[in-house]
Amino acid sequence: MTSKIWGGRFQSATDAILEAINVSIDFDKRLGPQDVRGSLAHVAMLAETGIISAEDAAAITRGLEQIRGEIEEGRFTFSRALEDIHMNVESRLAELIGPAAGRLHTARSRNDQVATDFRLYVRDAIDDIDAQLADLQLALAEKALEEAGSVMPGFTHLQSAQPVTFGHHLLAYVEMLARDRGRFADARARLNESPLGAAALAGTSFPIDREKTAKALGFARPTANSLDSVSDRDFVLETLSAMAISATHLSRFAEEIVLWTTSQFAFVALSDKFTTGSSIMPQKRNPDAAELVRGKTGRIIGALQAMLVVMKGLPLAYSKDMQEDKEGTFDALDNFALCVAAMAGMIRDMSVDRPRMRKAAGAGYATATDLADWLVRALNLPFREAHHVTGRIVGIAAERSVGLEKLPLETMQEVEPRITEDVFSVLGVEKSVKSRVSYGGTAPENVRKQARRWLKHLAKK
């Protein structure tokens, strides 16, 4: 017998290399609070069902509460020799209360234990993420209301397409984040079942009450299949997927911030609080936070990829490969939280150069579609023909290097004689955005309405 908790049938100690590859306490110590919570629920159930005595349960509970305090206050000594968080807690319990500690693991395995702990951890993390994303939505919606009438170029292919308002652009991200929150909420609802009591893989012969532990831990119900309970990590995959998608949204916005803060665009400026300088070029104001949001999205996507690859070849039930679920997830969660906070900070502090944006909105014949629409409305041209006529007019304007609104009426009439003075009423960028009143369109009055709707909705929670 060796000194390991599981050492009954072992004659010699483990190799140092095995210890090095096997140990997880360096990272799974984060699960300390969840591990204690799970054990407290388990021991209460063991006592209520008469599986262990009330005295032993009381001693175990007392010991676990002390351990919880030690962990919270940073006084707990984690030992690498004890492999993981579960054995660290159990072994400390034995130090504190003696042999009764050995009864805690009745009708339980580390397999259902780690699945329970990690679900609890991820569930808490999702709740934090939801609050953070709501705050980012609030920052965006507030800014959107301020910028509801600020005209900027709308792009497709990063070429000037049609004027839009900056508020409309910001609200696009509010919508994306709403769907992100929905994905996290879906993941949370599906993960919210208790694997505790699945034991190693087959369930247990002890008369446990899984409903009771599930309820005590805030789970909606116990999982229905013991093999599934200990062998799947789809709750991790789903959370990482939601995170990867959301990070991708943040990354696109971060890219836009990087672009818009260049002196070539100069649509917006970040505050000093969110800008760094260069050690050699004194003029530089670098958008490092935005670049890092964009960059960190890579590792978040990587965590999802890594976990998919870890899981794809595993036969049921538990395999130690699954211990690889934690580091990438913790890292992704930490970095995602930083990204969301950085985006909210940058947006709240950002200043907007409205005249510059407005001027850029008019460049590149951005109101050409308005001209085509006018030809359809005023002259009843089929849209395809209007498109063609407009294209010729744009061609002439481009040859002369003037905007559409600067082209003399007679010149336009050379292309289409029925065009009247009234055409100029649609060629300005303000007129253009104001006319986009279709539901979901960029008209300032729409944007104001949508921003107010979001602000009201976000205040409710």
In the bound state with ligand ARG, the residue whose beta carbon lies nearer, of 22 and 49, is 22
- Please tell me whether residue 35 binds ligand ARG under the rule CB under 6 A: no
- Please tell me whether residue 322 binds ligand ARG under the rule CB under 6 A: yes
Q: How far is the CB of 184 from ligand ARG (least distance, A)?
A: 23
Interface region with ligand ARG, contact rule CB under 6 A, candidates 294-302, 306-314, 316-324, 389-397: 316-324
Q: Which of 45, 104, 114, 144 binds ligand ARG (CB under 6 A)?
A: 114
Q: Which of 39, 111, 223, 297 binds ligand ARG (CB under 6 A)?
A: 111
Interface region with ligand ARG, contact rule CB under 6 A, candidates 128-136, 259-267, 314-322, 438-446: 314-322
The vertex-442 CA angle with 441 and 447, nearest 5°, equals 100
Q: How far is the CB of 26 from ligand ARG (least distance, A)?
A: 11
Distance CA(214)–CA(223), nearest Å, equals 9
Q: Which of 68, 92, 108, 110 binds ligand ARG (CB under 6 A)?
A: 110
- Please tell me whether residue 256 binds ligand ARG under the rule CB under 6 A: no
R_g of the chain computed on alpha carbons = 31
Residue with tokens 């969110």: 274
Which residue numbers are catalytic? 157, 278
- Going by C-alpha positions, the residue among 266, 193, 184 that lies closest to residue 230 is 193
Cross-strand partners of 269: 351
Cross-strand partners of 276: 286
In the bound state with ligand ARG, the residue whose beta carbon lies nearer, of 117 and 180, is 117
In the bound state with ligand ARG, the residue whose beta carbon lies nearer, of 24 and 442, is 24
Q: How far is the CB of 234 from ligand ARG (least distance, A)?
A: 16
Distance CA(370)–CA(376), nearest Å, equals 10
| Helices 444-460 and 110-146: angle between axes, nearest 10 degrees | 140
- How does strand 151-156 pair with strand 268-269? unpaired
Q: Which of 56, 84, 90, 232 binds ligand ARG (CB under 6 A)?
A: 84
In the bound state with ligand ARG, the residue whose beta carbon lies nearer, of 320 and 456, is 320
Distances (CA, A) of 244 to 17, 173, 183, 248, 297: 34, 15, 11, 6, 7
- Please tell me whether residue 24 binds ligand ARG under the rule CB under 6 A: yes
Interface region with ligand ARG, contact rule CB under 6 A, candidates 63-71, 110-118, 290-298, 437-445: 110-118
Q: Which residues bind ligand ARG (CB under 6 A)?
A: 24, 28, 84, 110-111, 114, 318, 320, 322-323
